[in-house]
Amino acid sequence: MGVLAGVLWDHPDQRESVAAIVGNVASGVVGDATKIQDLVLELVQKLPQDGNAQDQNFQAQLVACNKEGNNAIRKLRGLRDQVKNDRKRAKIDAMISKIEGALGPVREQARQALGL
């Protein structure tokens, strides 16, 4: 894959995009799973680190992040169930675990902020 990606770009700034496209074509379901994981992890990272639990906007961000995370986990489990290859299933399971780990503190913050 690396060799193929290396010969397809015209300008050096295209390397990363071409490599991503080649990777997605080559890995299919795992590529889709990676996109889902990356989106959720980005949402978690964008949450304010010093958010005020009493701020309704922050509470809404926590709830939305949890909702998106739960939807992503559900989608990843569906993708995992489509895959027959054990290595690919293990990769998707690792992505699910990573998301669950990232969402743990967010869920706890949401519970505290909402008084649950």
Identify whether 56 is part of a domain. yes
- Would you say residue 99 lies in a domain? yes
Residue 23 lies in a domain: no
pLDDT of 115 reads 77
User: Does residue 90 form part of some domain?
Assistant: yes
**In-domain check, residue 104:** yes
pLDDT by 10s per residue, the chain, length 116: 444 445 455 667 766 666 666 665 556 788 889 999 999 999 999 888 877 767 788 888 888 999 999 999 999 999 999 888 899 899 999 999 999 999 998 888 888 877 77
| CB-based contact 106:66 (threshold 8 Å) | yes
Domain interval for residue 41: 28-114
| Cα dihedral value 17, 88, 34, 96, nearest 10 | -170
> How many structural domains comprise the chain?
1
Q: Is residue 92 part of a domain?
A: yes
| 11: in domain | no
Q: Tell me which residue has tokens 């949450």.
A: 47
Cα-trace Rg, the chain: 18
